[in-house]
Structure 1
Amino acid sequence: MSGRGLRPVTGRPARRLLPGDPVQRHQMLRVRGRSVAWVPPLVLLIGIMAIDYNTARDFRIISWLVLVPGIAAAICGVWGTAAFAVLSTTTYVVGDSVLPNEYQAGSADLMLSAIGGVLATLACAIRVRGEARMLHMRDVADTIRRTVLRPLPSPWGGLDHAAVYLTADVEAAVGGDFYDVQPGPQGTRVLIGDVQGKGLGAVEAAAALLGTFREAAFHEPDLAVVAERLETRMRRHTGHLSALGRDDNDRFATAVLLSFPANDSTALESVVFGHEPPLLVGPSGVRQLPPGGALPLGLGELIGGSGPPVVLCSRLAPGETVLLTTDGVTEARDGVGAFYPLAEEVARGVAADPRLTDPHRLVAYVRDGTLRHSGGRLADDTTVFAVRRTDG
C-alpha cells in the first residue's frame, strides 16, 4: 500500500461515529444545507393513499397511515412529527369518506390512527431530549479531550507533526494515551505515553503527567531533569490516590521523551520509559532508536538510588521523521493472533513511495494498516504520532 490517496490527518484525535449517531443521521438528512427529513414520511403517506385508491375493496390499507407519524418520530423534530400526526389523521378521514370503494374502515381504525399520532409525537419528544443530552455529554467529553490533549499548531516549535488517536471505547473521546509538543528556550520537547489501565483513572494520570511535562520541558535545560520530574509526578499521583483510598493506586505509564535541541539541527535526545522505541523513517529506510534502560514512570523506585535516567543521543538524517506509537498499534492482532508488523509495513510503504516520510501521510498509513490488520477491532487505545524538523 502506498501513501497515495490517503485521507488528510490533523493533530486532533479522530472520532469514530457510533451506530445511530444523531449528528451523522442529521447530516444524511440534509441536502445543500436544508433538511429533507420530511420527505420519507410524506412519500409513505402518498404511497399508502395511492395504493389504497387503486386496489379493490378487499384490500384496504388506509389504516396503515398510522405508520406515517411513527416514521416521522424517528427522523423529524417534535413539531414535524405532530404535523404528520395531524396530517395522517386528517387524510384518513377524508380518504375514507371519498374513496370510491364500498368498504369503509370505520371509527376504530380512525382512533388507532389518532392514538398512534399522539404516541409517535411523545416518542419523538423523548428521542429529541435523549439526543440533546447525548450531544451535551459529547461537548463535555470534547472539553476534557481539549484539556488533556490540547490542539497543537502545525508547524509548532520548529516541528511538522501529525497525530491519530483512536480510543478502544468508541463512546469515549479520550483514554489513557497521551502526547504533546512543548517548545522552549533549549529546543522543542515531545512526549508520548500510555497509562496502564483504562477509564477515568487513566485519564487523570495522563493529565497529571502532561501538566508536569508542559512546565518542566519549557523551564528545565537538562532532559534528564525533565524525566525525573515526570517520574516524581507519577509517584505523587499514585500516593494521592492511596491517601484517598482508591483501589487504582498502582498505575504506571510507559512513555517516550524526546528533545530536538535548538543549537543542533541533526541531534535527537531521547529517554524511553519501558515504551516501544521510536522508529526513524527516512527516504533510505527505517531504523529503530535504542530502547534505553528506564523503567515505566511510577516504577522508578524499584531501582532507587541509581540516579537520573540515561539520555540517549542520536543523529537524524536529512528528511527523517520520528514515528511514535502506543501499544494499540504494536499489539494489534489479526484473525489468527499475529501482531501488526509495524517496522516491516512502514519499510515496505516507504520503498513503494518515498513521500510516505511526510508526517501526515505516515500516520494515515499506519492508522489504515492497523485497522485493516485488526479488522477494525481495537483492543486498546491507539495513538500514532509523527514529528520531523521543518526545513530550515
Structure 2
Amino acid sequence: MARSPEELGVTHGAGARRSLSALPPLLLLAGLLIGLFTPDEVRPLAFLATGMVSAAALLPLWGTVLAGVGGCAIYLGLMVHFEALTDGTAYSELATLAAIAGFAVFLNRLMDRRARQLVQVRSVAETAQLAVLHPVPRHVGHVTLECLYLAAAAEARIGGDLYEAVRTPQGVRLIIGDVRGKGLLAIEAAATLLSAFREAAHDTPDLPHLARRLETSIGRRAAQYPTVPGSEVAERFITALLAEIPEDEPVVRTLTCGHPPPLLLRQGEVRELRASAPSPPLNLGMLVSEEYHVDLAPFHPGDQLLLYTDGVTETRDRTGTFYPLAERVRAWSGESPHHLLNHLHRDLIAYSGGELDDDVAALVARRRPKL
C-alpha cells in the first residue's frame, strides 16, 4: 500500500494555484483603474508589467498571451483616452510593455518545460523506490501484514525508508529502517540492507546474529567508497528495527538499532515497546563493543505490532507540534491492518496540511489465530 498524498485527492498546491490564477487579470484591471482615475504622475506601467509576468507563472500559454496582449491594449487605450499619441515617452513605455509580454511568453514556455522534466524525474524516482521496496504479501505464515509508504512532496527527494517481511524457520522476521540522507545514495544503501536481510533472515539463528550480518554488509559497502568526494557514504548510517514473531510462542522479539520503538496494539490499548538496551544504528556498530540485546513482549492472536519510521512521529502541524502517534492510533487499534494504515495515512495528510516534509513508512503485523 505504497501511496502518495495525491491518491487521497490532496490538492492543496493545485487549489492555491487556481486561487492565484485570478491575480494577473486583477493586476491588469488595477493598472487600468490607476491609469484612468489617478494623477498623471502615478503610472500604471508597474501593475501592467507585473500582471504579464505573473501570468507566465500562474496561467497556461494562452492565458499568458492574453495577459500580454491585454496589458499592451490597456496602455494603448489609455494613450488614446488621454490624447497621448504624440508622446514619445508613452511610446517608449508601450514598447517596454511589449518586450515584457514577449519575455513572459518565453518564461511560461521555460517553466512548462521544467515542470514536465520534474514530472519525469519524479516518475523515475518513484520507480527506483518501488524497485527497492518489493510489495510485501498480505499474509506471511501466521501473520497478516500491511505496509504504507508516503514520499515527501518536496520535488524528487527520494529517501531511504525501507521495510520487509520474511518467513523463516524461526518465525516471521520483520525489518523497518531509515537511511540517513536522501537521493540515490540512500536508495543504494537501502537496497544493500534489504538484500542482506532477505538472505540472512533465513540462515541466522536469532536476531543478534542477524543484526551482525546486516552490520557487516553495510560496513563492507561503506568501505568500498572511502574517498568519494561529497558522497558521505562512509558516514551514512541506517536506523533499523528487527522483529521476530515465532509461530509456536505467543511472543514478539525485537532488536533496536537506533530506531523509534514499535507500538503494541491490544484491545484498545497502545503500548510502546522501548528497548531496554538499544544498539547504535547500522554502520555505527563499530563504535561500541556490547552485544545486541533482544526484548521480549507478549504477542497473542489479534494483537498488532506497528513499526514506523521517524517521518511519522516528526510530522508537524502548522504550529510545529509533532504528530502524537500513540495517542492518535489508539482509536484505530481494533481495526484490521489495512484499515488502520488507511486511517494513519489520512490523518498524517490532514495533520500536516498536505505537506509532508519527510518520507513516511509504516508496517503493521497482526498475529492470526491458529486454525
Per the TM superposition, whether the score is higher than 0.5 is: yes
Higher alpha-carbon deviation: 288-297 or 235-244: 288-297
Please state whether the residue corresponding to 1:242 is helix, strand or coil.
coil
Please state whether the residue corresponding to 1:124 is helix, strand or coil.
helix
CA drift at 1:282: 1.4
Q: Distance in 2 between matches of 1:12 and 1:273?
A: 27
1:323 aligned onto 2:323: no
1:129 aligned onto 2:113: yes
Q: What corresponds to 1:192 in structure 2?
A: 176
Deviations 1:219-251 (A, max 9, x none): 548454644532331222122223868764254
Q: Distance in 1 between matches of 2:56 and 2:366?
A: 51
1:258 aligned onto 2:243: yes
- CA shift in 2, pair 1:268/1:81, >3 Å: same
Q: What corresponds to 1:89 in structure 2?
A: 72
Q: Structure 1: which 5+ residue stretches go unaligned? A: 1-9, 16-22
Q: Distance in 2 between matches of 1:57 and 1:289?
A: 73
Q: Distance in 2 between matches of 1:278 and 1:56?
A: 67
Q: Distance in 2 between matches of 1:85 and 1:51?
A: 18
Q: What corresponds to 1:386 in structure 2?
A: 364
Find 2:131's aligned residue among 129, 147, 150: 147
Please state whether the residue corresponding to 2:219 is helix, strand or coil.
helix
Give the letter for the 2:257 counterpart: F
8 A Cα contact 1:11 1:161, kept in partner: no
- CA shift in 2, pair 1:291/1:67, >3 Å: closer
**Pairwise CA RMSD:** 4.9
Q: Structure 2: which 5+ residue stretches go unaligned? A: none
Q: Distance in 1 between matches of 2:162 and 2:57?
A: 38
**What aligned pairs does 1:235-250 form with structure 2 within 5 A after superposition?**
235-242=219-226, 248-250=233-235
CA drift at 1:88: 3.5
- CA shift in 2, pair 1:241/1:108, >3 Å: closer
Please state whether the residue corresponding to 1:241 is helix, strand or coil.
coil
Give the letter for the 1:81 counterpart: T
8 A Cα contact 1:165 1:384, kept in partner: no
Q: What corresponds to 1:360 in structure 2?
A: 341
8 A Cα contact 2:349 2:356, kept in partner: no
8 A Cα contact 1:11 1:152, kept in partner: no
Deviations 1:19-71 (A, max 9, x none): xxxx965565569xxxx95x654565466557756x48859967554444223
- CA shift in 2, pair 1:30/1:220, >3 Å: farther
Percent of pairs with identical residues: 32
Aligned residues: 352
8 A Cα contact 2:279 2:293, kept in partner: no
8 A Cα contact 1:269 1:312, kept in partner: yes
CA drift at 1:114: 1.5
Q: Distance in 2 between matches of 1:370 and 1:68?
A: 35
- TM-score of the superposition, structure 1-length normalised? 0.65
**What aligned pairs does 1:30-109 form with structure 2 within 5 A after superposition?**
41-42=24-25, 44-45=27-28, 48-49=31-32, 55=37, 65-90=48-73, 92-93=75-76, 96-97=79-80, 99=81, 101-102=82-83, 106-109=90-93
Q: What corresponds to 1:138 in structure 2?
A: 122
8 A Cα contact 1:145 1:173, kept in partner: no
Please state whether the residue corresponding to 1:272 is helix, strand or coil.
strand
Higher alpha-carbon deviation: 231-240 or 63-72: 63-72
Q: Distance in 2 between matches of 1:274 and 1:93?
A: 68
